[in-house]
Structure 1
Amino acid sequence: MDKKIGIIACIIVIIALIVGVAAYSGVFDGESKVVNDDKTLVVGFDAEFPPYGYKDDNGEYVGFDLDVAQEVCDRNNWTLVKQPIDWDAKDSELNSGSIDCIWNGFTMNGREDQYTWSDPYFDNKQVIVVKNGSGIDSLSDLKGKNVETQKDSSALAALQGDQKALADTFGNLVEVADYNTAFMDLESGACDAIAVDIGVAHYQINSKDNDGDFVILNDNISSEQYAIGFKNGNTELRDQVQSTLDEMFKDGTIDKIADKYSDYDIKDSLIRK
């Protein structure tokens, strides 16, 4: 009897170890997570931020930034892990080591001391999108209107910062979970305008059956630069990624990747050295 109890106890211990390892590796949490090593690059990104990073109709994570990251990994013989994250938790993910970098239309302006940054690679603009024929032709026409933007977005930061005087003229400035929701609200009339990154605006408009239903105002809210954010002090990884990016700009690979997103104003906004 004692021998049987001992065998059972051993089996229980083995099962516990297997469950523990599986849980640690992400088998049971719905996401495949890879323990970081020097041959793996775990990129944290917002999975609802096209055309930089998003899930396509086949359920695959794609986008300009992810395509560039894949090429960087290929050239360094690294495995790329595309890790969707809660954007509000991006700092804790990075500082805990769950991800190696934040690479997804990530604004460096105003955050220069919070991360170790790559060189800026994209000049981004925040714009206003309205329905065609709305009578809103300039920023001054937004007075008293209901404007939506995504939470924790660059457009929101601009409207709470340098463009607060403009935002104060709105009837309401509403934060929504994502730009898909904002464009549905604009289409239904639940809001009058959307403050959004220009690349996202082009993506959303061109994804509609009738892209003439929406208009981007000529006046920009603000502009900023995108870069890759690494944990403060992680200069070794930053330098390796930056060196590879420099090669890709020089040999035209970045332009070729940008050509895949020609409808979304990617190529014209690249920052070249």
Structure 2
Amino acid sequence: MKKLIALLMTTALIVASLAGCGGKDAKETTSAKKTTEAAKDETTKAAENGESKAEEKTTAAKDASEGGTFTVGFDQDFPPMGFVGDDGEFTGFDLELAAEVAKRLGLEIKYQPITWDFKDMELNSGTIDCIWNGFTMNGREDEYTWSEPYLNNSQVFVVNAEAGIVTWDDLKGKAVTVQVDSSAEAALKDNPDLTATFGSLDTCAEYNTAFMELESGAVDAIAMDVVVAGYQIESRGSNFAILEQEISTEEYGIGFKKGNEELRDKVQAILEEMAEDGTMSEISMKWFGSDITTIGK
């Protein structure tokens, strides 16, 4: 009997012990489950908050860009169309026109200086919205979506006034320079009979260098835009002259990426508005002393 009682007591103790262990495991499992669920909830909340913040950021970025920018690509060494002024700021006839257009469109103007022979890459990559810098349309008609021409121009030779060079015949055997990938270079390529008479025909990166070379006697003539030549001669106060005979005549326009008629049309409408209210004439008078623009005429 004692043995039976002892056996029963032992069994009861074992069961109680097992029940205790099971209770602890259950509590721990429940606790772990709650912790996991809480962590999961926190993670979910964090993720949702993160998404919400990302959404807010995207919306904010969108709102910030509602006005947008108008990014103009230009050669910063091409006065008076676009260049660095004495105050270190970008300025010029074309840049002033562009700033007024941007203002009337409700856009922020951004001047983006570019290396001229990389201009197409800049335009096609979206770095710039247009090329606006004494940009010749002739010969490039199918390469861009163009505005209407706003200036007439011609390509000419600039020489030292005391060099005895008066006509093209006087350029025989002489050293001539021209800006790389410029309209003047294209015009000379179209006139091989003329260039064959030169002693040499070299290219330069920009016309400031070309004028320094002309002044020093390193070259005898520069082929370039007459609009730019006139400004350079007046601003430098040096003894330069423009040969009367023109290499070619041309028109300036604003070049947009091929197919971007939407932006072109907006800009064109503003230019016509500026021509009608006299703003374009005022800007031309400021830079050239006369109204040489062609829109609306």
Alpha-carbon separation, structure 2, partners of 1:126 and 1:250: 29
Gaps of 5+ in 2: 1-63
Q: TM-score, normalised by structure 2?
A: 0.75
Alpha-carbon separation, structure 2, partners of 1:269 and 1:95: 28
What residue number does 1:174 align with? 202
Structure number having the greater helix percentage: 2
Alpha-carbon separation, structure 2, partners of 1:125 and 1:250: 25
Deviations 1:160-213 (A, max 9, x none): 11x2211111111111111111111111111111111112111211122x34x1
Alpha-carbon separation, structure 2, partners of 1:166 and 1:267: 33
Which of 119, 136, 140 is the matching residue for 2:169?
A: 140
Alpha-carbon separation, structure 2, partners of 1:180 and 1:109: 24
Alpha-carbon separation, structure 1, partners of 2:131 and 2:65: 15
Instruction: Report if aligned partners of 1:121, 1:272 keep a CA contact under 8 Å in 2.
Output: no
The list of structure 1 runs, each at least 4 consecutive aligned residues, that deviate by more than 6 angstroms after superposition, is: none
Instruction: Report if aligned partners of 1:41, 1:80 keep a CA contact under 8 Å in 2.
Output: yes
Alpha-carbon separation, structure 1, partners of 2:89 and 2:201: 33
Residue correspondence of structure 1 range 70-85 to structure 2 within 5 A? 70-85=99-114
What residue number does 2:55 align with? none
Amino acid at match of 1:268: I
Residue 196 (1) aligns with residue 224 (2): yes
Which of 50, 54, 77 is the matching residue for 2:79?
A: 50
Aligned positions, number:
234
Residue 88 (1) aligns with residue 86 (2): no
Cα distance change on mapping 1:122 and 1:36 into 2, 3 Å: farther
Alpha-carbon separation, structure 2, partners of 1:60 and 1:88: 23
Q: TM-score, normalised by structure 1?
A: 0.82
Deviations 1:40-96 (A, max 9, x none): 111111111111000011110000000000111111111000011111111111111
Instruction: Report if aligned partners of 2:72, 2:112 keep a CA contact under 8 Å in 1.
Output: yes
Residue 245 (1) aligns with residue 274 (2): no
Aligned-pair RMSD on alpha carbons? 1.6
Amino acid at match of 2:201: L
What residue number does 1:207 align with? 235
| Offset at residue 272 of structure 1 (A) | 3.9
Cα distance change on mapping 1:170 and 1:269 into 2, 3 Å: farther
Alpha-carbon separation, structure 2, partners of 1:153 and 1:127: 13
Amino acid at match of 1:166: L
Percent identity over the alignment is 56
Which of 176, 184, 193 is the matching residue for 2:212?
A: 184
Cα distance change on mapping 1:170 and 1:272 into 2, 3 Å: farther
What is the DSSP-based 3-state SS (H/G/I as helix, E as strand, rest coil) of the residue aligned with 2:208? helix
Amino acid at match of 1:260: K
What residue number does 1:61 align with? 90
What residue number does 2:260 align with? 234
Alpha-carbon separation, structure 2, partners of 1:201 and 1:243: 30
What residue number does 1:267 align with? 291
Alpha-carbon separation, structure 2, partners of 1:65 and 1:115: 18
Deviations 1:190-245 (A, max 9, x none): 1111111112111211122x34x111111111111110111111111100000000
Alpha-carbon separation, structure 2, partners of 1:104 and 1:112: 16
Alpha-carbon separation, structure 1, partners of 2:292 and 2:123: 30
Alpha-carbon separation, structure 2, partners of 1:37 and 1:155: 40
Amino acid at match of 1:255: S
Residue 223 (1) aligns with residue 249 (2): yes
Deviations 1:130-158 (A, max 9, x none): 11121111112111111111111111110
Amino acid at match of 1:171: G
Gaps of 5+ in 1: 1-34
